[in-house]
Amino acid sequence: MSDQFNHFLATESERRPTLRPLIACVAGAWALSLALAAAAQQPAPPADAGRFLERADQNHDGVVTKAEFVNSREEMAKKLDRNNDGVIDSRDAPKMRRGKQKYEERMRDINKHFDVDNDGAVTTSEFVNGPTYAFDQADANGDGMVTKEELDAAKAAFEAARKN
């Protein structure tokens, strides 16, 4: 039989092109645009993010888990909050470091990444429980662990981003 005859015998729903592939395509594009927008909103990791990730491997097995990463932040917060007032700020700096450009840059970096409530102060809680951009960017496959290979790739990417 000819195609014209088959077309004539087909029901109206069989002749009408389906919208399912179009809807799936639009939904996929929408999901991709949301993911890209979320990635674009993440600030570049701090300059020493790769080194910090490396040090977070508390059991020295070559893999950094998210729990290890957060735990290492807790230890770092204790070191940074030298006056134990619950806030990480320039008052915690040894007098010889206050006003030094590198130290001031680091404090601005900490504020930019961890002052979640934008009140101008980074509490130790904000520092410990704040966004984990560096970890999330390094965890390429999203399994909650950063392997040595992922860490090496992330360090190179962080360095390249810092140069730009």
The span from the CA of 149 to the CA of 151, in Å, is 5
33 pLDDT exceeds 50? no
Closest CA to 56 of 45, 64, 44: 64
Report how far apart, in Å, the C-alpha atoms of 63 and of each of 114, 121, 128, 141, 159 are.
24, 32, 20, 13, 20
Q: Using pLDDT thresholds of 50, 70 and 90, give the confidence band for residue 109.
A: confident
Query: Do 98 and 83 meet the contact criterion of CB atoms below 8 Å apart?
Result: no
Contacts (Cβ under 8 Å, ≥6 apart) of 99? none
Query: What's the angle, vertex CA 33, arms to CA 29 and CA 39, rounded to 5?
Result: 145
Q: Using pLDDT thresholds of 50, 70 and 90, give the confidence band for residue 37.
A: very low
Domain ranges of the chain: 3-41, 49-163
